[in-house]
Amino acid sequence: MCGIIGYVGRKQANNILIDGLKRLEYRGYDSAGLAVLDDGTICSLKRVGKVRELEKAQEHFQHNGTIGIGHTRWATHGIVSEGNAHPHLSDGSHFAIVHNGIIENYLPIKTFLLGKNYTFYSDTDTEALANLIDYHYQKEKNLSFVEIVRKSLLHVEGTYGIAVLGKMFKEEIIVARKSSPLLIGIGDGENIIASDASAIARYTKQVVYLNDGEIASIHPDTFSVTTLYEGLVDTVYHELDWEISDVDFKGYPHYMLKEIFEQPAAIENAMRGRFTQDGSSTKFGGLPLASQELCSIERLLFCACGTAYHACLEGKYLIERYARIPVDIEHASEFRYRNAPLGRNTLVFVVSQSGETIDTLGALYEAKRKGNLVMGITNVVGSTIARATDGGIYQHAGCEMGVASTKAFTSQLTILSMLALLFGRRRDMDYATGQQYAHALRSLPERVEEVLGLSEEIRLIAERYYRMEHFLFLGRQGMYPIALEGALKLKEIAYVHAEGIPTAELKHGPIALISEGAVSIFIATQKELLEKTVSNIQEVRARGGKVVVITNDNRIEWKVISDDVIVVPEVHGGINPIISVIPLQFFAYYIGILRGYDVDRPRNLAKSVTVE
């Protein structure tokens, strides 16, 4: 859950490292640091806080080295401090290392090295690896740099993505990965390594993704990749499909607001080229299943975490409603630790925006181990999930920098709605119904634009409630996952108590939370259930609770029984969840801003969870 950047070439490394760290900050922002090899000396600089603190200090960091590594940290082992920030230097400063992941056996390694008179200056697991690398160098000084690191990693248990500098190796960085992403950006007389493509999109479009168990030696003009057991690797080059503008603010004050307004384009990109010629269904070139195979599927299983889990839960409602296929949803973090039965005709989907979520990867490998086909839905071309699955669907949403997901979520919902149509047409959905559904999907970007026009209205409503500390989000059936997502967004960026509840469950316990200090947000966009929702609102009003209604039914009654009403367009049921969630994104954004928080960098969170 941290960011790595490294550079080896002909240019001064400092500024390139700082620029990369700024673009990686969404992956971790407790502290940041860099190390540059300059005239045979490793010069290190670290600061607690955001990258801007490191950038200020870097103005007085006068080193002209053309090789260096940098890191932005999300704390796991050890408190947030300069001593625990990366890079970590070995005792004697022969090596510097940046590391994502967790070295599970660091205590035995540290104990061994203490017995060899190594001194430790931090509380981290990473420093043990830095000193272990130095130990192997001192033991066999005739080894190459890559062999020193290789021998060290053979003693390591856990997960890692690492980049290592050695003062004796003037134009070489060693990188290696195990369950933590790393890629090499190929330049002209320079090469850049990073844990995320957003850090290097400014410098190159051609990248090589490292696989688990691979180690690479990086020079300015060349690189070589082998396995930890010295097997040769055939490198595969990928072209980045991100533009630099994807990681710029484009005039918006925050990435989150920018990405909320980018949703029409993200949804359009998710759908482009994926409708059948007759306009009654969808198609996905990445699903390697013939029509007969699609028809024989008896069950779907979706595995995901966080916001992606909410998208999958919504997908369950849509697919079961329109395709009549049983769908199960699993928290990916739980799936591999329980013996879940998987039938032979069960198709598994794993969903992750980054394609690197470690819990979701674990679920993927477990399902494949049991012999099931596994498909992926991800936003990042070349990510680990994209390469490990049997097929899948790219979101094409563009880079999402805000930690609280917005456009990636609605992009996932769009794809899941398209899957509902695909499977529905393979079963009992007739041609005319399929055409109506497809037409609704095609109209979605335009309808989302209408909802974006409610931004100012929602800001004014947020001003009335931003001091409140308790929020309940309530929705029936397919609006329940949207309620969960609304509550999660508010928790993530405004740090208030928020719960998502099925509306009908209110009186089965949660109604005890209703008071004058609580706000209940009802998502009432399902015509067939509106009267039931009206009754639930009356129950809240009778107990003095504040009520906000999001609805597509412009009846006068709402203004009588609620404190505020947000009216969204009435749309087809297959896209209704997407229309309904956007006001909740705005609501969370404005409350976070009004409470004075950095909504792009919420406390204790990182964009991509790559450690268990």
Q: Which residues are catalytic?
A: 2, 607
C-alpha–C-alpha distance, residues 407 and 411, integer Å: 6
DSSP labels, 404-466: S-SHHHHHHHHHHHHHHHHHHHTTT--HHHHHHHHHHHHTHHHHHHHHHTTHHHHHHHHHHHT
3-state secondary structure at position 122: coil
Closest CA to 349 of 274, 418, 443: 418
Here the tokens at position 501 are: 């509840």
In sequence order, what are the residues at sequence separation of 6 or more whose Cβ sits closer than 8 angstroms to the Cβ of residue 337? none
The residues, ordered by sequence, that sit 6+ positions from 53 with a Cβ below 8 Å of its Cβ are: 32, 47
- Give bridge partners of residue 125 from the DSSP assignment: none
Q: Match 């630099």 to its residue by tokens.
A: 244
DSSP state of 210: P
C-alpha torsion 439→444→449→454, nearest 10:
110
Residue 435's CB is within 10 A of a number of other CB atoms, namely 14
Contact 602, 501 (CB under 8 A): no
> For residue 475, what is the enclosing H or E element?
strand 470-475
* Cα 244-1-12 angle, rounded to 5 deg: 50
Integer Cα distance of 47 and 45 in angstroms: 7
CA distance 337 to 386: 23
Are residues 501 and 536 in contact, defined by beta-carbon separation less than 8 angstroms?
no
Query: CB neighbours (10 Å) of residue 368?
Result: 15
Strand order in the sheet with 160-166: 88-89, 95-100, 160-166, 169-178, 214-218, 223-227
Cα 314 to the chain's mean position, in Å?
18
Phi-psi sector, 383: left (phi>0), alpha (psi -120 to 50), beta: beta
How far are the Cα atoms of 29, 311, 357, 600 from residue 589, in angstroms, in the given order? 20, 19, 24, 10
- What is the C-alpha to C-alpha distance for residues 397 and 489, in angstroms, rounded to an integer? 19
